[in-house]
Structure 1
Amino acid sequence: MALWSGRFTENVSEFTQRFGASLPVDKALYAQDIAGSKAHAAMLGSAGVIAQADADAIVGGLERVQERIEAGKFAFDINDEDIHMSVERALIADVGDAGARLHTGRSRNDQVATDTRLFAKQRCEDLMAANVALRQALVKQAEEHPDVIMPGYTHLQHAQPVLFAHHMLAYVWMLARDFERLAAARRAADASPLGAAALAGTTYPLDRQMTAASLGFSRVIPNSLDAVSDRDFLLDLSYACSVSCMHLSRLCEEIVLWSTAEFDFIELSDAFSTGSSIMPQKKNPDFAELIRGKTGRVVGDLVALLVTMKALPLAYNKDLQEDKEGAIDAAKTLEDCLVCAAGMIETMAVKPESMRAQAKKGYLAATDVADYLAKKGMPFRRAHEVVGHLVLLCEQRGCDLDDLALADFQAESDLFEADITSALDLDAIVAARTTEGGTGHAAVAEQLALAKQVLAADEAAL
């Protein structure tokens, strides 16, 4: 019979027992469940709610249960329904009646909320560490290739030349924001619901501040109804995972493109590539594609929890059993993706010559030629039109802007002089972008220093 069987005259069917059980999912939270129970037992003994000897016996028994689980000697039974009952049954079998006193002043409602918050805090920290490792790999690539020029794109069309380091740092800043979102999710989870009981608190003189401090929570949730029914912290975690996966998907899309023969900007390490079962020449960026694909499941985890929560009345409802599986999956998936992406970035070979060759195509100097005229007094809109005519001339001749003679330029405007050739030099074009956040060497060096400063601060905060 179930924990609540005193009210019922017959047990649930085998099917509904399996259908209603959360043990296959929440057994992953055994360490958090045991930590919460130890804190609760110690508080019960300190408050005089149970005898100190019983409290000590409970703590000792819980430690032995955890040792058995971690040694692989614990048999989980689906009839226990959830991790809470698995642990409690094993505890009672170990210490007798003292174990049966553990649940005094506590409900599975505040118990599961406590377990889940402890889990979310830890997973946020794990993800923040993996985030830092990927940013370190990106920064390293930027540092090792300070002068490599590549085409920058809009609409996936050649736009203006940029430094490869500048491109890498764009992802560093995306990930820095992801770190902040994960840190915010951790702060959201960092509040103790323990002591809220089922929904209304309890008549026992519990010390909620004591259990909160014991478990490392920074504060106590002030409303017992909210304490057992809030899952905003899991939404925060799932959202942070979704945005981070979206950023990784963008990065991996570029890795896939850059590793093609058409781009030929990079070559992935063999350790992060696969072959074909039929085409012996193939070297496929499968792991970049997998990261891109796994983004969908993480976003799905977020949507599933949003829909689960959207119409729940206060306080606890069985629907909330569905809160953990998606969050566990999202965190695990993101962590794996971060680790894989870090390995890919750290080991990929950059091809500067291919990047530079492509940067010479597609009239990437056009904006600088227009700026040349604007700086000599021509309204920019008119300068834009003049350079458009020059590009059309190049298309008709099958050449690039730097192939035109001075006379060709002067046929469009007498403002052009012999120094127009300096506006067509790739290195000069890049170096001229000196504004803060620009792609010029000096600006990128300043940006790199700032990125490393933020990265060091985030690493120190872990």
Structure 2
Amino acid sequence: MKLWDKGFITDKKIDHFTVGNDRELDLVLAKYDVIASKAHAKMLGKVGLISETEAADLVKALENIAKDIEKGKFTIEDDFEDMHSKIEYLLTETLGDTGKKIHTARSRNDQILVAMQLYLKDELSEIKLQIKSLFDLLLKLAEKHKNVLLPGYTHLQIAMPSSFGLWFSAYAESLVDDLYLVQAAYKIADQNPLGSAAGYGSSFPIDRSFTTSEMGFDTLKYNVVAAQMGRGKVEKSAAFGMSSVAATLSKLAMDICLYMNQNFDFISFPNELTTGSSIMPHKKNPDVFELIRAKCNKIQAVPNQLILIINNLPSGYHRDLQLVKDVIVPAIQDLKACLEMMSFSLKEIQVNTDILKDPKYDYLFSVDTLNEMVKNGVPFRDAYKTMGKAIENGNFKPKKDIEHTHEGGLGNLCLQEIREKMDKLF
């Protein structure tokens, strides 16, 4: 069944190519098509385009479909092009002519727009909660290990003292920045496009403000052409927010892989969170973090994928936009899995508390030792030269009882202030 069926049969090759994997993706989105259809049916009854009884019957039938979706009983067979055609078929099968009236004053174009935006709102909200969970864990670890020193690097060369407190809370505060972008994407998605029909509105006297309120959108996407132009753009906005989160996770995963290396030996994990080698019995591989790194690097490519699909398309609907689902839906699932696995694994992290006892890290303290000379009245440039000569001649004696008091430094992590940033977002 095709909603645009005019009585002729499409070649099977054309049908297969144009439908693609829409049926599989629509199983994810069907819940939201039903939510929008319920709001639409109520609106049709409210404005008198169908009777109140017909509206109530449609809503009841849609609620039954929603139950089947929740139970995993909803399927989209090859006879149906997508979720829209299957849902309308089920309504017609149950209600006869009343079921055929559900498509009054709408198009598949605004159907998929509103379903996708409802889906993005839900998924971005879930991602937001997962970010908060990881954020809380990172701050907890920062507090627990705030006094455990860690080498800091520039150019991957030993640079200055850091700490596990700084390292964990750095990623926590970075997640705040990521969440700003996720929030912006949510706000863009939180605009009701239903009623824009094929992109040019309808001659029916529909009430778009009613469906906006009914579905829980913050506002309308008022201009019907702008609503249609939102397809792809809304997903791209979400992808930029997701990409920012993925960049943070990827960098954290890379640090973990590096720090687990025996030559660093800064951290470790229980055996059950690592994998082994088929020929090397000593191996404890960070496969989880390597996969997080790789998956998150893929996610960072998603905005560009979407740009390449939608770029330079003129206003109005184009079939190119169908491919947007194929990019954004799997990326969302991957990001959620990466957030879940990062939190799950980090709970079990074990830190080495004696890292800086190794003499090879003595040069970490050169700047602090130099600064002590400056505090005692030696001009900075003279102190720098003196320290450089001492290091060159092998006479350097590090001052290890360091004291960093400024905001955001080793001795003043500002964990509460970082938490307040996050709290404002919630």
User: Do structure 1's residue 438 and structure 2's residue 390 form an aligned pair?
Assistant: no
Please tell me whether the aligned partners of residues 27 and 75 of structure 2 are also in contact (alpha carbons under 8 angstroms): no
Which range moves more in the overlay, 121-130 or 13-22? 13-22
Displacement after TM superposition at 1:240 (Å):
1.2
Which structure has the greater CA radius of gyration?
1
Q: Which residue of 2 aligns with 1:405?
A: none
Percent of aligned pairs sharing the same letter: 33
Q: Which runs of 5+ in 1 are unaligned?
A: 395-399, 403-423
1:451 aligns with 2:418: yes
Alpha-carbon distance in 1 for matches of 2:362, 2:73: 65
The CA deviation at 1:362 is: 4.8
The residue aligned with 1:251 is 252
Q: 1:19 and 1:296 mapped to 2: Cα distance?
A: 29
Candidates 3, 15, 18, aligned match of 1:17: 15
State the distance in 2 between where 1:123 and 1:186 align. 9
* Residue 109, structure 1, aligned to residue 102, structure 2: no
Query: 1:75-107: CA deviations, max 9, x gaps?
Result: 311332111111111111111110100010001
Helix, strand or coil for the counterpart of 1:80? coil
Instruction: Assess, with a 3 A threshold, how the Cα gap between structure 1 residues 294 and 75 changes in structure 2: closer, same or farther.
Output: closer
Query: Pairwise mapping of residues 93-172 of structure 1 onto structure 2 (< 5 A)?
Result: 93-172=93-172
Residue of structure 2 equivalent to 1:298:
299
Structure 1 residues 156, 362: closer, same or farther in 2, change over 3 A? farther
C-alpha deviations, 1:189-217, integer Å up to 9, x for none? Answer: 00000111111111111110000000000
Does 2:426 correspond to 1:425? no
Q: Shift of residue 3 of structure 1?
A: 2.3
Q: CA deviation at 1:128?
A: 0.5
Structure 1 residue 456, shift from structure 2 partner: 4.2
Residue 135 of structure 1 deviates from its aligned partner by: 1.0
**In 1, are the aligned partners of 2:369 and 2:399 still within 8 Å (CA)?**
no
Shift of 1:11: 1.6
RMSD across aligned C-alpha pairs, in angstroms? 1.7
Name which of 396, 401, 417 aligns with 1:401: 396
Closer, same or farther: CA 96–148 of 1 in aligned 2, 3 Å: same
Residues 146-189 of structure 1, C-alpha deviations (whole Å, 9 max, x = no match): 31111111111111112210111100011111122111111110
Matches within 5 A, 1:55-454: 55-230=55-230, 231-353=232-354, 355-358=355-358, 361-394=361-394, 401-402=396-397, 424-426=398-400, 428-429=401-402, 431=403, 433-440=404-411, 443-444=412-413, 447-454=414-421
Offset, 1:360? 6.0
Q: Are 1:48 and 2:48 an aligned pair?
A: yes
Cα distance, 1:358–1:456 mapped onto 2, change above 3 Å: farther
| Cα distance in 2 for residues equivalent to 1:3 and 1:259 | 56
d(CA) in 2 for partners of 1:155 and 1:34? 54
Residue 102 of structure 1 aligns to a residue whose secondary structure is helix
371-380 vs 216-225, which moves further: 371-380
Residue type at the aligned position of 1:214? E
Cα distance between partner residues in 1 of 2:396 and 2:10: 79
Q: Counterpart amino acid of 1:425?
A: K
In the alignment, residue 363 of structure 2 is paired with which amino acid?
Y
Shift of the 369–308 alpha-carbon distance from structure 1 to 2, 3 Å rule, reads same
Deviation at 1:282, TM superposition (A): 1.0
Instruction: After superposing the two structures, state which structure 1 stretch, 56-65 or 375-384, moved more.
Output: 375-384
Structure 2 distance, partners of 1:73, 1:114, is 23
Is the 1:20–1:81 contact (alpha carbons within 8 Å) kept by the matching residues of 2?
A: no
Distance 1:13 1:357, change over 3 A: farther
Q: Which amino acid aligns with 1:274?
A: T
Q: TM-score, normalised by structure 1?
A: 0.88
Secondary structure in 2 matching 1:16: helix
**Distance 1:139-1:181 versus aligned 2 partners, 3 A rule:** same
Structure 2 residue matching 1:278: 3-state secondary structure: coil
State the distance in 1 between where 2:127 and 2:154 align: 31
2:296–2:338 CA contact under 8 A, matched in 1? no
Cα offset, 1:379, TM superposition = 3.2
- AA aligned opposite 1:79: D
Q: CA deviation at 1:358?
A: 4.7
Instruction: Say yes or no: does 1:29 pair with 2:29.
Output: yes
- Tell me, what secondary structure is at the counterpart of 2:315? coil
1:411 corresponds to: none
Deviation larger for 229-238 or 71-80:
71-80
Q: What is the CA–CA distance in structure 1 between the aligned matches of 2:271 and 2:67, rounded to whole Å?
A: 40
SS of residue matched to 2:160: strand
Over 3 Å counting, the alpha-carbon distance change for 1:334 and 1:73 in structure 2 is closer
Q: Which residue of 2 aligns with 1:421?
A: none
